[in-house]
Amino acid sequence: LEEENRTLSTKYEEQVSITEELEKDRTELEEKVTQAAVLKAYNIVCEGIRMRAGEREDVTFKARRVDAIRVSFTLSENPVAEPGPKTLYVRIARPDNVIVTRGKDDAFTFEYEGNRINFSMKEEIDYQNKALDVQMHWNKQTEEPAMKGVYSVSIYADGREIGFSQFELE
């Protein structure tokens, strides 16, 4: 009986070890799938826009002429990501690191890493796991010229930053 008890104890410890290793592998695989499901934004182009008569848009890098900012990018193809409606958020930071936004209340914020942060633009899209071109516009809110310097643009989806770019206005 003692010999059988030792044998069973050894087998039990081996099974516990195998179970712990399998659980660790499962957790690592779940993390890899979660990371693989993240969308990415690429080919990000940010431009100052001058509005002309007849709704014609001309690209400008002169701060005094900017009426709007156009942000264009491509969402990556991702067969692992969940298809369906997605909300994209874009944050435009002026050279003094102030986020341009239409308002400061909760209607102009979203959840990111446990905090509520302001966004400049928001768009709902229907993502079907295929590459998707997106174009968003920020219309200047005041008559004052835009600030000269380097602007930072961050793109978010599903609570993660999926793209970043910068552009300069002279």
Rg (CA), the chain: 25
CA atoms of 77 and 148, how far apart (whole Å): 35
On whether the CB atoms of residues 124 and 140 are closer than 8 A, the answer is no
The secondary element (H helix, E strand) that includes residue 18 is helix 2-36
pLDDT digit string, tens, across residues 46-84 = 999 998 877 788 999 999 999 999 999 999 998 888 899
On whether the CB atoms of residues 120 and 140 are closer than 8 A, the answer is no
Q: Give the predicted TM-score (pTM) of the model.
A: 0.79
Contacts of 42 (CB under 8 A, 6+ apart): 73, 74, 76, 163
pLDDT digit string, tens, across residues 128-139 = 999 999 999 998
CA atoms of 111 and 91, how far apart (whole Å): 13
Phi, psi of 129 (to 5 degrees): 70, 10
Q: What is the mean pLDDT of residues 35-39?
A: 76
pLDDT digit string, tens, across residues 92-123 = 999 999 999 888 788 899 999 889 999 999 99
What pLDDT sits at residue 82? 86
